[in-house]
Amino acid sequence: MSHQIYNIPLFQDIIALGIGIVIMSQPTRTGVANLPLHYGKAPRWLFERMTKLAREISIAVVSEFGPDEMLRRLSDPHWFQALGCVLGWDWHSSGTTTTVCGALKEGTKGLESDLGFYVAGGKGKTSRQTPAQITRHCEHLSKDPAPLVYASRMAAKVDSVALQDGYQLYHHTFVFTPKGDWSVIQQGMNEQNRYARRYHWLSEGVRDFVCEPHSAICSQGFGKALNMVASESTGARQIVTKVAAGEKPEKLIAELRKIKSLTLPAHHYLSLDDLHPDRLEKIFLSTYERKPDDFENLLILEGVGPATIRALSLISELVYGIAPSFRDPARYSFAHGGKDGIPYPVDRKTYDKSIEVLARAVRKAKLGYREEMEALRRLHTVFP
Q: What is the pLDDT of residues 213-270, one digit of tens each?
A: 998 887 665 567 899 999 999 999 999 999 999 999 999 998 888 877 665 554 455 5
Cβ atoms of 252 and 273 closer than 8 Å: no
Residue 17 has pLDDT above 70, yes or no: no
Q: What is the largest CA-CA distance in the chain?
A: 72
Q: Tell me the C-alpha distance between 250 and 259, whole Å.
A: 14
Task: Label residue 40 by pLDDT band (50, 70, 90).
Answer: low
Cβ atoms of 187 and 169 closer than 8 Å: yes
Cβ atoms of 312 and 161 closer than 8 Å: no
322 or 360, which is more confident: 322
Q: Tell me the C-alpha distance between 135 and 33, whole Å.
A: 32
Instruction: Tell me which DSSP letter residue 19 carries.
Output: -
Per-residue confidence (pLDDT) for residue 162, from 0 to 100: 96
Q: Tell me the C-alpha distance between 75 and 272, whole Å.
A: 35
| Model pLDDT for residues 165-183, shown as the tens digit of each residue | 889 999 999 999 999 999 9
| E strand segments, the chain | 35-36, 118-123, 163-164, 168-176, 182-190, 195-202, 216-219, 226-227
pTM over 0.85: no
Instruction: Tell me which DSSP letter residue 342 carries.
Output: S
Per-residue confidence (pLDDT) for residue 269, from 0 to 100: 53
Cβ atoms of 187 and 94 closer than 8 Å: yes
Q: Tell me the C-alpha distance between 274 and 161, whole Å.
A: 15
The helix or strand, by DSSP H or E, that contains position 341, with its residue range, turns out to be none
Percentage of residues in the chain having pLDDT higher than 90: 46
Q: Tell me the C-alpha distance between 83 and 175, whole Å.
A: 16
Residue 151 has pLDDT above 80, yes or no: yes
